[in-house]
Amino acid sequence: MSYVLPAISDPENDSCLVAIISSPAYVVLSGTTLAINPPLGTASGNYPVILNINDGINTPQFNFNVIVSTNSLPVFVTMPVD
């Protein structure tokens, strides 16, 4: 899954750099797009992500969670008839 970050502006028109400070290995930032691809078998849960936006002077952080929920395999309730 991919998520494009919203436009970032700086009041002084300084250029801004976005970086991942902390995240699971399957969260990757490329430009302004986050690719979030938990591998098969990742345990259900909330996984924190911290982004940093740096304008050369200020570096606010933005925190959010990637929520992984597993989907159980379907099972037969009764045995199929031959």
Per-residue confidence (pLDDT) for residue 65, from 0 to 100 = 93
Token pair listed for 25: 């290995």
Rounded to whole angstroms, how far apart are CA atoms 43 and 5?
Answer: 26
Query: How does pLDDT run along the chain (82 residues), one tens digit per residue?
Result: 899 988 888 899 999 999 999 999 999 999 889 999 999 888 889 999 999 999 999 999 999 999 998 776 666 676 656 6
Rounded to whole angstroms, how far apart are CA atoms 74 and 11?
Answer: 53
Which residue from 37, 60, 38 is spatially nearest to 50, judged by alpha carbons? 60
Per-residue confidence (pLDDT) for residue 14, from 0 to 100 = 92
Token pair listed for 73: 């395999």
The beta-strand segments (E) located in the chain are 2-4, 17-22, 27-30, 33-36, 45-54, 61-68
